[in-house]
Amino acid sequence: MKKHLFNNKSILITGGTGSFGKAFCRIVLDEYQPERLIVFSRDELKQYEMSQQYADHADRIRYFIGDVRDKDRLMRAFDGVDYVVHAAALKQVPAMEYNPSEAIKTNIYSAMNIIDAAIDKGVKRIVALSTDKACNPINLYGATKLCSDKLFISGNSYAGLHDTRFAVVRYGNVVGSRGSVVPFFKSKSKEGVLPITDERMTRFWITLQLGVRFVIKSFERMHGGELFVPKIPSMNIMDLAKAIAPNCRTEIVGIRPGEKLHEVMISEDDARQTLELDDCYVIKPAFNWWGKENHASGKRVADGFSYSSDNNPHWLSIPELQRMIEE
């Protein structure tokens, strides 16, 4: 078993029964030696089902029923925890447009709860998951995640003399996650017609496994205050349709409310604070204590730089999309 900061430590993941949470738990339990891994989520049935799937690691995994909206429950759950991954969120764009107050309670107020609980309980490092929709947001989900990102970044100053450090990871669509377009297209392919919002639409694309490994690497190299953006490929929606159901016809239905034609992960305004590393970009915080030695190997991006799904130099071909979907 390789040496790692997770070994012999206590790790908690909020939203642990979701797609990311289950993949994170599998990789951490198989490849590292945590003292305990705590799954924090609201649904007792999903926790029971997960406990059956992870029975081979029953001695190290724990299940904690709770809601990130409940600060008292988080205080209890964070007792003795070294590292936290915050993956819990309400994220379905149409549902959040219809239920804005619920998105605010879960995605914003809960971020404040986690920051307070982590500082008060002496958690060492927290990585919060974000989304490309938080960059120049046009829907409520993106707006709430932008607020959450700002809260977690500022949490490093709010921590004062405490050692707790916060970072954020922002990436794009996850292949095969619950609610993603892949299972939707697979279901629709049985009808022989795939609904396409706009044939020009592009998206960033990442697998669950790559997303998990990027989060783990972010724990390793964070100083506190970074917003990490991985270098990942883009795909065109028409290529995805051909990869999933080449024999189906397509029907243009129009862009839904709150949806973009292309997604952006780093805007031109963000670029002024952005460093480029080999495998990712780092958006630096505007802290007076942030030193030049932090990510010193990084190179400043050029003026006018932006990282958008339509200007990305790395594109997935139809065969590459098919391989990712199969995996």
Token pair 């990442």 in the structure block, residue? 206
Cβ–Cβ contacts within 10 Å for residue 13, how many? 27
What's 42's DSSP letter?
S
Q: Measuring CA to CA, which residue among 165, 173, 231 is closest to residue 206?
A: 173
Does residue 133 carry a catalytic annotation?
A: yes
Task: Give the C-alpha separation, 47 to 16, whole Å.
Answer: 9
Q: Measuring CA to CA, which residue among 15, 283, 261, 258 is closest to residue 142?
A: 258
Catalytic residue among 9, 22, 91, 133: 133
Q: Residue 119 in contact with residue 84, Cβ under 8 Å? A: no
Strand order in the sheet with 83-86: 61-65, 36-41, 10-14, 83-86, 125-129, 165-169, 227-230, 280-283, 274-276, 299-300
Q: Which residues are catalytic?
A: 133
